[in-house]
């Protein structure tokens, strides 16, 4: 029988969890996620977090910065895995917290929560190295398919949250609610755009240099916000050296929560606390000093793409 509190502590210490416990944990979180909508309705106060990318020690610093769960309610905007050396532990910790405190932590899907991307950028190899088989990777990928695509905080005039950005195929949030999310992320279409698109100073929709999704500008953000009664769009997906970046008259913000990304970028990170009046407080933090670099496992270099 899975002991969640014990699992949480073991994962924090980077101790290997038995494969049967990982399978049970994944099955339990799927039972929770299957009841959640494509766009989760969340109450304030809440703290929004950007990409984690397998940097477990920095995730622990994040909780010290924003407050431990369940005392603080959290929304994570995806990209839990890949690039960092502790993708599995990072995702296991977030899953265990979700199962332990289902109403206090929400996880939505990032563009890295897919089978194809994780076979290229590290998560697949990490699972294979740590367990000697791909079973754990398969269990986690099944969970990916059940993750929500977005969240709406605070109701009318609230905060719309998504990993990547907007889509030319989506005018209203209700259109997101009817997407069949329980699948591998398609290479194009609305679901793909939500996970891959980026804001940019462009006059209209433009092709993204990432090879998926679109670039969208002020006009698209203003129109979407007005149509849907949204005061802020919060997203992740892009490295920000200062930890966060507000754009388009503060109608949109990028939140980045992986400090010193890839252990070499030198950036700081942040989380965004939204209070009951929808006020914003950015809490910044630096990379963990507790991480023992000597303990980081050897890892073959991966292909870079537009971060």
Q: Which residues are catalytic?
A: 112
- Residues 6 or more apart whose Cβ sits within 8 Å of residue 229: 156, 157, 158
51 close to 111: Cβ distance less than 8 angstroms? no
Three-class SS of the chain: CCCHHHHHHHHHCCCCCCHHHHHHHHHHHHHHHCCCCCEEEECCCEEEECECCCCHHHHHHHHHHHCCCCCCCEEECCCCCCCCCCHHHHHHHHHHHHHHCCCCEEEECCCCCCHHHHCCCCHHHHHHHHHCCCHHHHHHHHHHCCCECEEEECCCCEEEEECCCCCCCCCCHHHHHCCCCCCCCCCCCHHHHHHHCEECCCCCCEECCCCCCEEECHHHHHHHHHHHCEEEEEECCCCCCCCEEEECCCCEEEEECCCCHHHCCCCCEEEEEECCCCCEEEEEECCCCCCCHHHCCCCCCCCCCCC
Polymer length in residues for the chain: 307
**Residues 82, 121: Cα–Cα separation, whole Å:** 5
**Residues 182, 188: Cα–Cα separation, whole Å:** 16
């Amino acid at each position: 029988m899975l002991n969640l509190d014990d699992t949480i502590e073991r994962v924090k210490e980077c101790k290997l969890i038995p494969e049967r416990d990982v399978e049970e944990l994944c099955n339990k979180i799927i039972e929770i996620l299957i009841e959640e909508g494509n766009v989760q309705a969340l109450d304030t106060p809440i703290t929004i977090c950007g990409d984690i990318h397998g940097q477990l020690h920095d995730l622990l610093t994040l909780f010290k910065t924003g407050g431990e769960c369940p005392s603080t309610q959290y929304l994570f905007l995806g990209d839990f895995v890949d690039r960092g050396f502790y993708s599995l532990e990072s995702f296991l910790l977030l899953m265990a917290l979700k199962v332990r405190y289902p109403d206090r932590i929400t996880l939505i899907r990032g563009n890295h929560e897919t089978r194809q991307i994780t076979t290229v950028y590290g998560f697949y190899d990490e699972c294979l190295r740590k367990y000697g088989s791909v079973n754990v990777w398969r269990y986690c990928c099944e969970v990916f398919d059940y993750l929500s695509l977005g969240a709406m905080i605070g109701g009318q005039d609230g905060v719309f949250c998504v990993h990547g950005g907007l889509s030319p195929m989506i005018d209203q949030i209700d259109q997101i609610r009817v997407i069949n999310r329980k699948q591998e992320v398609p290479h194009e279409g609305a679901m793909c755009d939500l996970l891959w698109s980026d804001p940019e100073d462009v006059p209209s929709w433009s092709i993204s240099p990432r090879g998926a999704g679109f670039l969208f500008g002020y006009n698209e953000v203003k129109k979407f916000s007005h149509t849907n009664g949204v005061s802020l769009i919060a997203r992740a997906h892009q490295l920000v050296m200062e930890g966060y970046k507000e754009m388009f008259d503060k109608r949109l913000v990028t939140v980045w929560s992986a400090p010193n990304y890839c252990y070499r970028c030198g950036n700081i990170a942040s989380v965004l606390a939204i209070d009951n009046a929808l006020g914003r407080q950015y809490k910044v933090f630096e990379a963990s000093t507790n991480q023992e670099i000597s303990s980081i496992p050897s890892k073959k270099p991966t292909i870079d793409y537009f971060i």
